[in-house]
Amino acid sequence: MWKGRFSESTDAVVRDFTQSLDLDWVLAPWDIAGSLAHARMLGQVGLLEPSEVKTIEESLMVVRDEIASGAFKPDPELEDVHMNIESRLTDLAGPVGAKLHTGRSRNDQVATTVRLFLRDRLLDTAEGLERLMSELLSLAGRHLDIIIPGYTHLQQAQPISAGHYWMAHFTAFSRDLDRLYFALDSLNECPLGAGALAGSTLPLDRFLTASSLGFPAPTRNSLDTVSQRDYMVDYHSFAALFAVHCSRLAEDFVVYSSAEFGWLILPDAFCTGSSMMPQKKNPDVPELVRGKAGQVIGRLVDLLVTLKGLPSTYDRDLQEDKRGLLATLNTVSGILAVLPPLLASVRIDRARARRGMEDGLVLATDVAEHLVSRGVPFREAHAMTGRLVKECIARGKGLLDLSREEWGELLPAASDDLFPDLSLERAVERRTTYGGTSPAMVEGQMAYGEELVARSRERRKKYVRTVTPASPNATETECNQAEGSKTLDE
């Protein structure tokens, strides 16, 4: 493609070092979609004859089908997916095929192809995240009346509704959903027509091209267009924090399903055993989710370091932006495939969860707040209750084991009004502050969550897909998210 300027051919070792086919061949359907839009625009502005546009369109369709069937094998000599498609197009269409690159550089061509591809993949991600969040809503409804320990510092703190626990993770993922749509919006401009960096002297209609590809508008500055990768950073930022949230959920699963806790029961189908110890049930899926989070975070840092200090505008360093992008897309897709069916089969042993709180010490805050309701300053109430707990431990008793006489001895400021409220159920029911753990508050969170997921489904419809997941051109990871069956809780 640049033989006119050079006096010798590219060395084979340079060709192998600079090729990107191992990265970008997956982008072929989206590259063809961009080329079709570009050809039709060239016809509209008079730079191609209608017959030439027709020839290019028909030839590109043949190339698309050859790629989908596997009949088209890319040639490493041609360096990347874009040149392979253009070369095959010229084979089929003759000299007319060479006109397709009129007014276009690989810089704006690649930027357009990646945005089309990424837009489709992010729409798949949004759908997968909705599925994950819907599963959490379902768990919250099923476990609304189950009481489990809430922890700080991994120490029992206060009793909570298990539904409230699931809605905590839902709330974190809802922020991820907002970040995902921010990433979708940040990429939703069309780079075609920016050229190598300065635009073109030809009468290109960038608004027509943008509209035909489903973009609301073209990019505003040609220099920025070919050099910025902010939209990729926005996606990686979403992915990194999403992975962190998945990792925290996974860590909870590992801890709460251990023999020492034991009230969360993971489905056998999502665990493995030991090659040596027959009794083992290992939480491999949560552990792998936790482990993959570091890879996703690393790829965000990788891209930021690549971008840092690059001179304007395009530099070949940017070719490597797709390596981490594709890897993270596949990692996120894998997590979204495995977590919903895992969640669908998670159970809670409510009796085991209660046994861990049977001494009633998790109700200490309720005792302190009872004293506050009787006019005792909170710091004094806290100290008085702390001494009560200390004495209970010394006597080998829990709060619920104390007799009325012992209450009178150890905490004379308490009134008889305390005792009807001194239970796990009442401790949960009475926490009615907005966002609290009472069933009524959790049901309100769930109702809002249902609306949020429904709005996301509608919001997705505002974005244009280039290649549908069911298409033979779609990659395997874009298809067939797994669904899980629900089970009763113990």
pLDDT digit string (tens) for 26-71?
Answer: 999 999 999 999 999 999 999 999 999 999 999 999 999 999 999 9
| % residues pLDDT > 90 (the chain) | 89
Task: Please provide the average confidence, as pLDDT, over all residues in the chain.
Answer: 93
Cβ–Cβ under 8 Å, residues 449 and 133: yes
Catalytic residue among 51, 258, 274, 373: 274
Predicted confidence band of residue 331 (pLDDT cuts 50, 70, 90): very high
What's residue 6's pLDDT? 57
Topology of domain 119-145+161-203+220-350+437-474 in CATH is Fumarase C; Chain A, domain 2 (1.20.200)
Q: Please tell me which residue, 374 or 472, carries the higher pLDDT value.
A: 374
Q: 117-175, pLDDT tens digit by residue? A: 999 999 999 999 999 999 999 999 999 999 999 999 999 999 999 999 999 999 999 99
Q: What is the DSSP letter of 220?
A: S
The average pLDDT across 209-232 equals: 98
- pLDDT for position 482: 29
Q: What's the CATH number of domain 361-429, 1.10.40.30, 1.10.3720.10, 3.30.1360.120, 2.60.40.10?
A: 1.10.40.30
Sign of CA dihedral 347, 352, 356, 358: positive
70 sits in the region (left: phi over 0; alpha: psi -120 to 50; else beta) called left
- Outline which parts of the chain fall under CATH 1.20.200.10: 119-145+161-203+220-350+437-474
Mean pLDDT on 74-94: 95
Interhelix angle for 106-142 vs 28-44, to 10°? 130
ω into residue 313 within 30 of 0, thus cis? yes
Average pLDDT value for residue range 248-264: 97
Distance CA 198, CA 388 (A): 76
Q: How confident is the model at residue 1 (pLDDT cuts 50, 70, 90)?
A: low
Residue 58 to residues 36, 50, 209, 289: CA-CA distances in angstroms?
10, 12, 19, 45
| Active site annotation includes 153 | yes
pLDDT recorded at residue 485: 31
Q: Which of 7, 69, 153, 275 is catalytic?
A: 153
pLDDT tens across 436-471, in order? 999 999 999 999 999 999 999 999 999 999 998 744
Ranges for all domains in the chain classified under CATH 1.10.275.10: 12-102
| Confidence class for position 402, pLDDT limits 50, 70, 90 | very high
How far apart are alpha carbons 260 and 309 in whole angstroms? 50
Give yes or no for residue 478 having a pLDDT over 60.
no
Domain made up of 12-102: CATH architecture: Orthogonal Bundle (1.10)
Nearest to 104 by CA among 190, 15, 216: 190
pTM to 2 decimals? Answer: 0.91
Give mean pLDDT, residues 10-33.
87
Q: What is the DSSP letter of 264?
A: E
What pLDDT score was predicted for residue 363?
97
Task: DSSP for 316-350, please give it.
Answer: GGGGGHHHHHHHHHHHHHHHHHHHHHHHHH-EE-H
- Would you state the pLDDT for residue 13? 86
In three-state secondary structure terms, 156 is: strand
Give all strands (DSSP E) within 217-366, no chain letters: 264-265, 347-348
Round to whole Å and give the CA distance between 106 and 113.
10
For the question of residue 82 being annotated catalytic, the response is no
What pLDDT shows up at residue 4? Answer: 60
Q: How far is CA 415 from the centre of its chain?
A: 51
23 — pLDDT class (breaks 50, 70, 90) = confident
pLDDT of residue 471: 41
